[in-house]
A = this chain, B = another copy of it.
Amino acid sequence: MLVMANIETNPYKGVRDFYPEDMAIQNYIFEIMRDTAESYGYEEYSASILESSELYRAKSGKELVNDQTYTFTDRGDREVTLRPEMTPTLARMVAKKQKEFSFPLRWFSIANFFRYERPQRGRLREFWQLNADVFGLESVDADIEIINLAYDIMINFGFSQDNFEIRINDRSLVDKKLAELGIDEDTSDKIKLLIDKKDKIENFENELKKLAGDDFTFNLEANENINKIISGLKKAGVTNVIFTPTLMRGFDYYTGMVFEVFDKNTENNRSLFGGGRYDKLLDIFGGEPVPTVGFGMGDVTIRDMLETYNLIPEIASSTDIYLCVVNKESLDGAKDLANDLRGQGLNIIVGSPDKKVGDQIEKASKNKIPYVICVGPDELSKRRYKVKNLASGKETEVTENGIVSLVFVE
């Protein structure tokens, strides 16, 4: 073996290691996302992170394709990309089986993505994202459902309706206004890009007037589509929805409603995630158009927000019992007991008799395992065990069946 000392132990720049305590939080976040999506009947799908690069050339905003992807050539001379977002993959998958499907489809995935960006708070080179989409429903009810689902995830994380707001717009409003003013398509695209980045641009108003003329204002009124969505959400108790005519959502494939969920915390007022309606995405595959509405919700910003609001719960160990093995002679008996208890659905660690009893118990306590049983010759001959609850300190002497009842009841 080639031995090199002191290789870097940090992960690659902008990606994360998930040690067990971080993984538990990550799994908690994914569980809330998954459970809520499934509560609306959404089915889980997935795909490889590696895609042919042509998929992105055709579809995404240009910024993403040119500067921000991880793109390389494989050993067979194919140009491949680590996916920066789910939508092109999803469109590819739906296009492939379009003729077999009975629409509507309600689908979700929880997957990872790469973007070559400078890592900063809320933005990493690798992130995970829930994507939830409804395919095949033109009705505004699909828009309402998808926003309601996004809202329910926030509530299920423990946020209150006051902690965030849902900004909503219809991209066709600006398009209509620009057409009325006789502005050509090319300039319109520039204007929409400008509006999308307005918070990052100095002299936004001046820049806008340069492109759109002095007559352009944002005195836009919500159309029937947006009003129906807002009132439908209100009926379901979702009242923190605000019509926001400047909301664009960067990617250029949205065709109608767009929405974004904003953190209202004054110190951290920012966009958390969003989505919208994109009815023409399957066009590039040469298939029939399928009306679609969906959103993507990233793990990095949500985890930051959960931390800010102190909403990450204390996560219990997945292990139920630590068997502290008193001496070498008791190890076989402890293993038998462990295997029996595993067969009844309990998760059991068998300690090592090479370690002192005190050290074994300390290890259990450090790992937040709720129960410890010390197993020695006495316990094994009598087949009675003292189950210690490490949180309360309470000790209960029971038979093997008693162990199972105790853990499941408490």
- Are A23 and B10 also in contact (CB < 8 A) when A284-B4, A284-B5, A347-B40 are? no
Residue of B nearest to A367 (CB): B43
Stretch in A13-21, A159-167, A218-226, A266-274 touching the partner: A13-21
Contact assessment for A38 and B319 in the assembled complex, using a CB-CB cutoff below 8 Å: yes
Stoichiometry, as copies per complex, reads 2
- Expressed in whole angstroms, the Cα–Cα distance for A45 and B82 within the complex equals 22
Q: Is A107 an interface residue (CB 8 A)?
A: yes
Interface residues in A106-120 (C-beta closer than 8 Å to B): 106-107, 112, 114, 116
> Could you say which residues of chain B place their CB within 8 Å of the CB of A7?
54-55, 58, 92, 284-285
- Expressed in whole angstroms, the Cα–Cα distance for A284 and B366 within the complex equals 29
Q: Is A363 an interface residue (CB 8 A)?
A: yes
- Are A346 and B39 also in contact (CB < 8 A) when A27-B44, A104-B352, A114-B50 are? yes
> Could you say which residues of chain B place their CB within 8 Å of the CB of A9?
92-93, 95-96, 285
> Could you say which residues of chain B place their CB within 8 Å of the CB of A286?
5-6
- Expressed in whole angstroms, the Cα–Cα distance for A70 and B55 within the complex equals 20
Interface residues in A34-68 (C-beta closer than 8 Å to B): 38-41, 43-52, 54-55, 57-59
Range, interface on chain A: 35 or more
> Could you say which residues of chain B place their CB within 8 Å of the CB of A92?
7-9, 11
Contact assessment for B347 and A39 in the assembled complex, using a CB-CB cutoff below 8 Å: yes
Contact assessment for A52 and B350 in the assembled complex, using a CB-CB cutoff below 8 Å: no
Picked from B106, B126, B363, the residue with its CB within 8 Å of the CB of A349 is B106
> Could you say which residues of chain B place their CB within 8 Å of the CB of A31?
none
Picked from B26, B51, B336, the residue with its CB within 8 Å of the CB of A11 is B51
> Could you say which residues of chain B place their CB within 8 Å of the CB of A125?
50
> Could you say which residues of chain B place their CB within 8 Å of the CB of A55?
7-8
Interface residues in A58-103 (C-beta closer than 8 Å to B): 58-59, 70, 72-76, 78, 80, 82, 92-93, 95-97, 102
Contact assessment for B16 and A44 in the assembled complex, using a CB-CB cutoff below 8 Å: no
Contact assessment for A2 and B39 in the assembled complex, using a CB-CB cutoff below 8 Å: no
Contact assessment for A348 and B41 in the assembled complex, using a CB-CB cutoff below 8 Å: yes
Q: Is A354 an interface residue (CB 8 A)?
A: yes
Contact assessment for A4 and B58 in the assembled complex, using a CB-CB cutoff below 8 Å: yes
Q: Is A342 an interface residue (CB 8 A)?
A: yes
> Could you say which residues of chain B place their CB within 8 Å of the CB of A363?
102
Contact assessment for B346 and A50 in the assembled complex, using a CB-CB cutoff below 8 Å: no
Question: Which 7 A/B pairs are nearest by Cβ-Cβ distance?
Answer: A41-B349, A15-B48, A72-B72, A9-B96, A20-B43, A18-B46, A41-B319
Beyond A12-B80, A16-B47, A145-B350, 9 additional contacts (C-beta under 8 Å) are A6-B285, A7-B92, A13-B78, A17-B96, A39-B348, A49-B49, A72-B73, A104-B352, A236-B336
